[in-house]
Structure formats: C-alpha cells, structure tokens
Amino acid sequence: VSLPRQIHLAAHFPGVNSTTVWTDPSAGSQIEFDSFAHFARNAERGLFDYVFLAEGLRLREHKGRVHELDVLGRPNTLSILAALAAITEHVGLVGTLNTTFNEPYELARQLSTLDLLSGGRAGWNAVTSSDAFHGANFRRGGYLDHADRYERAREFADLAKKLWDSWPEDAPRADAGSGVFLDEDVPTRVRHRGSQFDVDALFDVPRSPQGRPVIVQAGDSADGRGFGAEHAEVIFSLHTEFEAARAFYDDVKGKLPAWGRDEESLKILPAATFVLGDTEQEAQERSREIALAQVRPEVALTYVEQVWGRDLSGYDPDGPLPDVDPDTGSETARGWANRHAAVRARIAKLRELSDAEGLSIRDLVIRLTATHTFVGTPQRIAAEIDRYVQERATDGFTVVGHLTPHGLDEFTERVVPLLQERGSYRQSYEEGATLRDLLGLPAPRATRPLTTGPLTTVPFTTPSLATR
C-alpha cells in the first residue's frame, strides 16, 4: 500500500499588512524576540517544513508619512533567522532576500553561514525589486529598469551558486600534523564577468550541510513560471482557489520534464489563511469578525486611496465607491506593490465587482483582501488541505495566521493531528534531516564553476508577495 501524497506546510510570520490584526487584545509584539521564538517553536511543534519571513527594505508610506494603520516594523531577516537557529532543531528557516540591494559574495556567505549554524535548514526566497523608493535606502541606489533587474537577478544567482559549489565537501583538511589547513586549489576560484558583476572570487565559507540553501520563488508571470520550472525548488504562489491552483500546478509541473526534473523536485506551496470553528457556522461567524478587524473602516479607505492615488477621507467606508477620477500621477501610493497597476482599468474592475454584488467600500476591500482561504471545522479544513494535495492542486500551503505570534498555534493543535490521522502528514521529524530532506527534494545539481558554457540561470520574482 503506498502512502498518500505527503503534505508540506510552511509557517509565514504575520506581515506588516492588514492581514495581521493588532487590535486583538491577545496580539503580541511584532519585534520582540519572544514573538519569533514562540512562532518558530510552534511551527516545530506542528512539524512544519519551514518558517518563512518576508523582508523589510523600507517602511511603507501613505500620503508622504509612514503608514500608521497596520503593524509597522520588523527585524532584519537574516539576523532573526540566525537567532532562531539557536532555539530550534528541525524546522527550516527561509528568508526573503533581495538580489537588487545585496551583493552576491556577501549574501552567499550569509546564507552559507545560516545553513551551517542551523545544520542544513536554510532557504532563500529570491526576489528582485527595482524601484527608487526602496533603492533610496541603499548604496546600490534607485532604479534598475525591468530588464536590468532581471539580468542582475540571473547573474546574481548564477554567481552565488558557483560560490557555494567552490568548496568541496571534505574541506578544510585541517591536518595539524602536516600543517595543511586547506589544500591547494581549494576553494575553486570563481571568475565571473557579466554586465552586472565582474568578480574574481575566493569564497570564504566552507561548504554547508545542504551545499546551498533551498531556493524559493514567488514569480507568477509567464517568464516567472518558466524560470521557476527551471530552477526553483519551492514556489510560493497566490493560487489558492482549487481549480486555479490545479491549473497552476499542471502548468508549472508540466514544464519540469523539459528541464530533466521530476514532479517531486519542485514543491508548490500557495499562501493560505484559515479560520477554525467548532461548527461550520461558528467558523463563518468568526471569519466575518476577523475580516472586520482586518479591514477596519480607516483601512478600507486607505485601500481605495492607494488605488485612486488621492485623499478620499471624506468618503463613507460603508457607502459606495468614490465617484471621482483617480490621480494617476500621484505619489500617494509610494512603496505599495500596486503602484504600477493600470489604475483606471483597475478601478473599472472594482466598480464592476461592487455593482454586481452591491458592495460598500469596506465590503469590497474585505472581499479583495480578507477572504479567508479555509473556513470551517478542523475536520473540514484538514480534508480540504488533503484534497488539494492528493488531487495535485498543490503540494501543501504556506499558512499565515492573523495574530502575532500565536496565530498558528490552533492550526498546530487542531488541524495537524487530523492531517496525521489521514496518513498524509509526517508523525515526527527525521533526526538530522535537512530542509531539502523535509521537502522531499533531490540534492541540487552542481554548477561547473570553470566552464565557459551558458550561464545557469535561477529563479527571480517580483516582490509583490514577499514585501507585503
């Protein structure tokens, strides 16, 4: 009897956005170490594959001031993951890290360090960004145009892989008797000359347990999917509706054979929210309550101000959409992922949805941003998650709770045991398993650092998800 397909789960630390309900009296600190410790320990208790952190490059702004209505402030991604490595033993540690505002040598050594410190549990959600708003905080500075930023991401990851592969597994020799610490020709010198980087590098971190971190990607464009199929080991998608998820799964996994990869070499873990109840009705009521807390009246107005690009504070959040034109030249929406959207087309769609369903501003925003992926009893949610995985719509989910830091505790306590009963979720961690082992991924294929063949390319993504 073969086991059912196994479910993989990632635990996403609540973000700096309206999904995270800070008005709840039980909501804890977004920054104290205890919050992260609690979160990671719960993920480990729930046998999750990994904890997942976004990246902060600049505080969000609204109307020229830092955004006041949502949780604001978060730790440095790499530093907090390194600290969590000290207090966890099994769970993977995956961070979102940008290719535009880091240098390959430095980021490669940081990720190798994290992998060494954690005993092989490091992962990298590789993202690109290019806008001047975030760039203003960095030496690298402002704007990379679209093509350049992808070129940089491609070269970045290619170079990082060569650096990771430049140390053999048995180095350093460290033979006190003969006095040879490091053999000749170790590490392999990495020479790279491209449009973005021109380096002649000797990497200074020995090979880590996984060789290189697990590569996670969040891109969803046609290009993004193609690169994901070629290089990503996990895809963090937004397709959670069953048919859309299955279509995405079929599309991306269908591209794998062309790259000599099998279905299991890439895991697709869409973002998912959940609301539990003892009964279906209780869960539905709770979902509505949480949605109202997520989209408070002022949050709803901010959302439409972001889209319209102008001050709409005079409008009633419980009334219809504003009847005025957007200000498409406005800088109101600086730092928001939607700033490049075709504003007018977007507004037309919002009006259509609002008219069709008779939605107020606030209900429209709830519909768009606070529709919870899974709502129901633990039994129902476990069955749904299992169905997605068994029917090949996903390999699992990247779960995010609405409360910091304990939003996933009830998932661990009430849903995980039911997944285990179904035989589709691990009963324990295997001792010494790396993150790649937990995810059931094959060892990465080594680059050949000194060949002159075509560059190996790697996944890159837009930051829209990861920086939310």
Partner 1 sequence: VTEQVHIALALERAGWHPAAWRAQTARPHELTSPVYWRDLLRTADDAGLVLATIEDALSLADRFEPTDGLRRDRVRGRLDAVLLASYLAPLTSRIGLVPTVTTAHPEPFHVATGIQTLDFASRGRAGVRLVAGASAAERANFGRRATGVDALPASGRVEDSPEIAAAFREAGEFADVLARLWDSWLDDAVIRDAESGRYVDADRVHNIDFEGEFFSVTGASIVPRSPQGRPLITVLAHQTVPYRLAAEHADLVFTTPHSADDVAAIRTEVNTAAAVLRSDGRERLRVFADLLVLIEDTADAARQAARRLDDLAGAELASDARIVIGTAGDVVDEIVALAGAGVDGIRLRPARQPADVAAIAEQVVPLARAAGVLRDAGQSGTAGSGTLRSRLQLSRPESRYAREKVAL
Task: Show the binding pattern over residues 41-80: x = contacts partner 1 (CB under 8 A), - = does not.
Answer: ---------------xxxx-----xxxxxxxxxxxx-xxx
Is residue 31 a contact residue for partner 1 (CB under 8 A)?
yes
Is residue 114 a contact residue for partner 1 (CB under 8 A)?
yes
Binds partner 1 by CB under 8 A, chosen from 5, 6, 28, 119: 119
Q: Near partner 1 by CB under 8 A, which window of 106-114, 277-285, 307-315, 410-418?
A: 106-114
121-142 residues labelled b (16+ CB within 10 A) or e (exposed): bbbbbbbbbbbebbbeeeeeee
Binds partner 1 by CB under 8 A, chosen from 1, 2, 3, 23: 23
Is residue 105 a contact residue for partner 1 (CB under 8 A)?
yes
Binds partner 1 by CB under 8 A, chosen from 168, 199, 255, 354: 199
For residue 99, give both structure tokens.
Answer: 């290719």
CB of 69 to partner 1, least distance (A): 6
CA separation for the pair 28, 116 (Å, rounded):
31
Is residue 106 a contact residue for partner 1 (CB under 8 A)?
yes
CB of 317 to partner 1, least distance (A): 11
CA separation for the pair 11, 93 (Å, rounded):
10
Question: In terms of CB distance, is 74 or 212 closer to partner 1?
Answer: 74
CB of 320 to partner 1, least distance (A): 22
With a CB cutoff of 8 Å and minimum separation 6, the contacts of 444 are 210, 211, 212, 233, 436
Question: In terms of CB distance, is 396 or 407 closer to partner 1?
Answer: 407
With a CB cutoff of 8 Å and minimum separation 6, the contacts of 468 are 15, 16, 17, 54, 337
CA separation for the pair 169, 156 (Å, rounded):
23
Angle at 125 between CA 44 and CA 271, to 5 degrees: 65
Is residue 180 a contact residue for partner 1 (CB under 8 A)?
yes
Is residue 183 a contact residue for partner 1 (CB under 8 A)?
yes
For residue 420, give both structure tokens.
Answer: 């285990």
Q: How far is CA 49 from CA 12, 13, 19, 121, in A?
A: 11, 14, 22, 9
Q: Which of residues 400-459 bind partner 1 (CB under 8 A)?
A: none
Using CB atoms within 10 A of its CB, is residue 164 exposed (0-12), middle (13-18) or buried (19+)? buried
Task: Show the binding pattern over residues 201-220: x = contacts partner 1 (CB under 8 A), - = does not.
Answer: xxxxxx--------------
The helix (run of H) or strand (run of E) holding residue 399 is: strand 396-400
CB of 368 to partner 1, least distance (A): 19
Task: Show the binding pattern over residues 360-399: x = contacts partner 1 (CB under 8 A), - = does not.
Answer: ----------------------------------------
Binds partner 1 by CB under 8 A, chosen from 5, 6, 138, 255: 138
Residue-by-residue DSSP string for 223-241: HHHHHHHHH-SEE-----S
Is residue 26 a contact residue for partner 1 (CB under 8 A)?
no
CB of 106 to partner 1, least distance (A): 6
Q: Which of residues 264-303 bind partner 1 (CB under 8 A)?
A: 296-299
Is residue 169 a contact residue for partner 1 (CB under 8 A)?
no
CA separation for the pair 142, 132 (Å, rounded):
4
CA separation for the pair 206, 109 (Å, rounded):
9
Number of residues that bind partner 1 (CB under 8 A): 73
Is residue 160 a contact residue for partner 1 (CB under 8 A)?
no
Residue-by-residue DSSP string for 254-281: HTTGGGT--GGGSEE--EE-EEE-SSHH
